[in-house]
Amino acid sequence: MTKQANPFAFDASKMFGDFDPTKLMSEFDPQKFMGDFSKAFSEYKIPGVDGNVIMESQRKNVEALAQANKVALEGMQAVFKRQAEILGQAMEEMQATFKDLSVAGEPQDKVAQQTDLVKEAIEKALSNMRELAEMAGKSNTEAFETIHSRFTESLDEVKEQVLKLKK
């Protein structure tokens, strides 16, 4: 007996087509950006301010932003992939359900069976929604913490430079 192709099968690898969200960040080169920034910044001299310290601080800012974006994109891709998997599972389960419901039986039994199926479907949908929300939340928290940490460090660096000007 040969297995028939499932008309509801869902191929997650085709979800994005040729678009790969993670490639967005590969096109952003922090070193190139810092080289361009360094060229532009080198034209300006501020008395009492060490330009190298400012450049290093900006380099760290750009790296933190690039890391946060990478984490966010990878998280988004993981959520999309999981959504595709959930959709594929749902389609397969729906096909099996229709097959089960097409079998002859007493009307009361069919109503009871349908009620159980609806209950299971709602519970599964809510569970899947919770899972996806947790995945997205974790990714967003990681990205936010990267930016927050660097922002705090950056303010400490600015404070240190300002206090040096006071001396």
pLDDT per residue as tens digits for the range 82-133: 999 999 998 888 888 888 878 878 888 888 888 898 899 899 999 999 999 9
Listed in sequence order, the residues at least 6 apart from 51 whose beta carbon sits closer than 8 Å to its beta carbon are 41, 42, 45
Cβ-defined contacts of 26-29 (< 8 Å, 24+): 28/66, 28/69
Predicted pLDDT at 113: 87
pTM (predicted TM-score): 0.63
CA distance 143 to 72: 6
pLDDT over 70, % of the chain: 71
**pLDDT of 56 above 60:** yes
